[in-house]
């Protein structure tokens, strides 16, 4: 078990509580995701964690390597399969869409993970990728202070442009982009806007080509 998987397994309850304590951030991120989610129920969330997003988005299938997180996801009714993004235990062309939320920064081999995502997607299947954009002021703040955070100390943050390149080189075409969380001190749920560069939380909708 890698260090980050072990940390997430041990701190699953604290991770889950964070979304309750920071509900404006969670609801803002959720709103951005909802604007780009495809109209299908055949969706896999990779790195489903405790299932907090999957439950809210009515996603039934999840992949998660951390046992502690997986246990909470199961309690939420997620059909949970333990495994890693780089080696998914699913047949080719299994899903209409794959969702991955702030998981990219923890992957040991992003290229292999996207190759696997492409493999398990049906032709014209969609990859919905959400990241914390390192190029934004808030993203830079996260990166500068990641060594003090139990989770992010293991992260390698990407810029939105790097993600666009990675998706394109992996056989995906970017269809749409949304951004939110332009400030760490939200007073209300933030409406997502198109593009990237301002909001730290960026969602890419891409299609398998």
Condensed to tens digits (0 to 9), the pLDDT of residues 150-165 reads 888 889 999 999 999 9
What integer best gives the mean pLDDT of the chain?
96
Residues in the chain: 209
Whether residue 116 has pLDDT greater than 80: yes
Domain boundaries, the chain: 3-208
- The alpha-helical segments, DSSP class H, found in the chain are 3-10, 12-21, 23-36, 52-57, 67-75, 110-120, 137-144, 160-169
Per-residue confidence (pLDDT) for residue 3, from 0 to 100: 83
Strands of 85-200, DSSP E: 95-101, 121-132, 172-180, 193-194
CATH superfamily of 3-208: Vaccinia Virus protein VP39 (3.40.50.150)
* Higher pLDDT pick, 109 / 1: 109
* Higher pLDDT pick, 84 / 184: 84
Per-residue confidence (pLDDT) for residue 1, from 0 to 100: 46
Residues of the chain above pLDDT 90, percent = 93
Whether residue 131 has pLDDT greater than 70: yes
Which two three-digit tokens encode residue 22? 């920071």
Condensed to tens digits (0 to 9), the pLDDT of residues 65-80 reads 999 999 999 999 999 9
Per-residue confidence (pLDDT) for residue 99, from 0 to 100: 99
Angle (CA) 200 183 142, round 5°: 50
């Amino acid at each position: 078990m890698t260090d980050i998987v072990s940390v997430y397994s041990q701190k699953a309850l604290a991770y889950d509580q964070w979304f309750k304590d920071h509900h404006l951030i969670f609801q803002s991120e959720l709103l951005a995701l909802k604007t780009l989610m495809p109209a299908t129920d055949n969706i896999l969330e990779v790195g489903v964690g405790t299932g907090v997003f999957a439950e809210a988005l009515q996603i039934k299938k999840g992949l998660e390597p951390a046992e502690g997180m997986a246990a909470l996801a199961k309690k939420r009714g997620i059909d949970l399969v333990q495994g890693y993004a780089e080696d998914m235990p699913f047949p080719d062309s299994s899903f209409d869409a794959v969702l991955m939320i702030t998981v990219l920064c923890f992957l040991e081999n992003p290229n292999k993970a996207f190759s696997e995502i492409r493999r398990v997607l049906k032709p014209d299947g969609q990859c919905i990728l959400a990241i914390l954009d390192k190029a934004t002021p808030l993203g830079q703040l996260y990166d500068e202070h990641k060594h003090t955070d139990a989770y992010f100390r293991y992260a390698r943050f990407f810029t939105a442009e790097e993600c666009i390149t990675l998706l394109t080189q992996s056989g995906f075409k970017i269809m749409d982009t949304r951004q939110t969380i332009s400030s760490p001190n939200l007073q209300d749920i933030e409406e997502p806007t198109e593009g990237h560069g301002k909001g730290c939380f960026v969602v890419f909708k891409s299609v398998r080509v």
